[in-house]
Amino acid sequence: MILRTAYTCIFLLYSYHCLAQSTNELDAALPEPRAYIPDSQYLDFVYHDHDELTRFLRATSARYPNLTALYSIGKSIQGRDLWVMVVSSSPYEHMIGKPDVKYVGNIHGNEPVGRELLLHLIQYFVTSYNTDQYVKWLLDNTRIHIMPSMNPDGFAVSKEGACDGGQGRYNARGFDLNRNFPDYFKQNNKRGQPETDAVKDWISKIQFVLSGSLHGGALVASYPYDNTPNSRICRSSALCAMFQTYSAAPSLTPDDDIFKHLSLVYAKNHAKMSRGVACKSATPAFENGITNGAAWYPLTGGMQDYNYVWYGCMEVTLEISCCKYPPAYELKKYWEDNQLSMIKFLAEAHRGVQGFVLDPTGTPIERASLKIKGRDVGFQTTKHGEFWRILLPGYYKLEVFAEGYAPREVEFIVVEQHPTLLNVSLTPSKRNEGTTVPFYRPLPLPQQHYRPSSPTTYSDSGIFSTISSGLNSLYSNIFG
């Protein structure tokens, strides 16, 4: 008991110190991140094939062992590693009380600008840590996981200079990986692929708070939901459903205010995105450079909706180039346009509320289920009892449930200047006359979090379903 008490004191003191340090540094009005000038000896503005990408990541990990850790979450169809580089002052282990965030690039193989920008982001972080106060603060208080390429097989057959089309978009089996995840609104019958299975396993093991997926073919930050429930009037008509699918109707999450804010952070720090200029005369323009995904065009099986609904991770899709695969000489311009956005977006993980769920002895409670009252998509604690939720300034209620404990509701306020620190203590459920007081039981995987009430769905069939699927494919090949 003495050892447990001592451990608890050390745990909480360390946690409070880390969180307080983060808060103090946020208040310190750090100078803006500096411009990054690449050293061509290590990384130039060119496209790197998989072997070159692997050599760069391995060399960087060897050169900066105190700031980086390289790991693979699996392999592609053709056996290429799906590399992830952690960049942080604690690269090999989770920092208690500090969030994990991620970027994923090249989910469509013929959209490689994000792939290259993420390599430069890694290089920028490791070479600026000792000279740039903002970068140092970010790496000291965040674990950043960067996957440059989720679809290395598709990239291998893509063609530089191809601004449109589908060559290389899909994986080696011809599957669109951004249509291959479980979907909340409609059953996704597409066979799971090794690349998407690896990502699903990855995000089930790490409690990511914030995520960005980098794409090409447009210039906009697109936020959930990507899919939409079908209106009742269209339930019995495949033709009606087809046209309903392509109407510009937003599909809003319970956290729409947060997603709009996150998208605006990226767009407004970008050199051009917030102007909302259309890439081509025939393509849509986006007010302030952001859009709800379904309002742009609906899709089934998208990665950002899966991150959010299944794991409470706020993911935004970042379309960063009008041309899907622009010439290499334009990459430096894309870096200059996106550098500040990529950094400022990750810093938003430190907005809102964060803390621990503990038992009466101060021991962390793992996999406690939480949700903000009125926002019916939830999240869970880590094995250390930690939780985070990005929120805008305001008054909120946090609902907390864990098996074997009485549920609690805690009120708190979020301010603009720094994250709210909130620790919640749960008491065990009491027994009364041989029966256990009812308590919340978390749902089994994959529905392990609070989710919105399931909408009415229908099954597409026949020729109209085929036409609808074809239009969806054509539209996504053109616009991303």
With a cut of 70, say whether residue 452 has pLDDT above it.
no
Structure tokens given for 141:
């208080």
CA distances from 430 to 267, 362, 403, 424, 437 (A): 51, 19, 12, 18, 6
What is the mean predicted confidence (pLDDT) over 92-116?
A: 96
Nearest to 96 by CA among 16, 210, 32: 16
* Rounded Cα distance, 153 and 164, in Å: 18
DSSP string over 58-80: HHHHHH-TTTEEEEEEEE-TTS-
Count of alpha carbons within 13 angstroms of residue 281, beta-carbon side: 0
Outline which parts of the chain fall under CATH 3.40.630.10: 35-350+457-479
Contact 9, 17 (CB under 8 A): no
Integer Cα distance of 91 and 85 in angstroms? 9
Identify the CATH class of 35-350+457-479: alpha beta
Instruction: Name 145's bridge partners.
Output: 86, 102
Share of the chain above pLDDT 90, in %: 74
Percentage of the chain beyond pLDDT 70 is: 79
Mean pLDDT, the chain, whole residue set: 85
Residue whose structure tokens are 């029966």? 435
Beta 386-389 vs 353-358: how paired, if at all? antiparallel
Closest CA to 414 of 476, 352, 361, 370: 352
Structure tokens at 310: 């299944």
Per-residue model confidence (pLDDT) at position 285: 86
Q: Which residues contact 235 (CB under 8 A, 6 or more apart)?
A: 241, 456, 458
Q: What is the pLDDT of residue 34?
A: 76
Helices (H), 254-330: 256-269, 293-296, 303-311
- Helical axes 238-245 vs 462-479, angle rounded to 10°: 10
Determine the pLDDT at residue 28: 52
Selected catalytic residue, list 25, 116, 195, 319 = 319
For residue 379, give the 3-state DSSP assignment: strand
Question: How much is the average pLDDT of 210-239?
Answer: 77
319 is catalytic: yes
Rounded-to-10 torsion of CA 186, 189, 192, 195: -50
CATH number for the 2-16+353-436 domain, one of 1.10.8.60, 2.60.40.1120, 1.10.10.1110, 3.40.630.30? 2.60.40.1120
Who wins on pLDDT, 43 or 4? Answer: 43
* Structure-model confidence comparison of residues 239 and 332, the more confident one: 332
Q: Read off the pLDDT of residues 279-307 as tens digits, 9 standing for 90 and up.
A: 988 777 899 999 999 999 999 999 999 99
Q: Is 117 helix (H, G, I), strand (E, B) or coil?
A: helix
pLDDT at residue 447 is higher than 60: no
Averaged over 139-163, what is the pLDDT? 97
Q: CA 329, 220, 100: angle at the middle one, nearest 5?
A: 90
d(CA 228, CA 244): 10
- Residues 317 and 213 sit within 8 Å (Cβ to Cβ): yes
Surface-to-core class of residue 364, CB atoms within 10 Å of its CB (0-12 exposed, 13-18 middle, 19+ buried)? buried
Look up residue 106 and give its two tokens: 């090249």
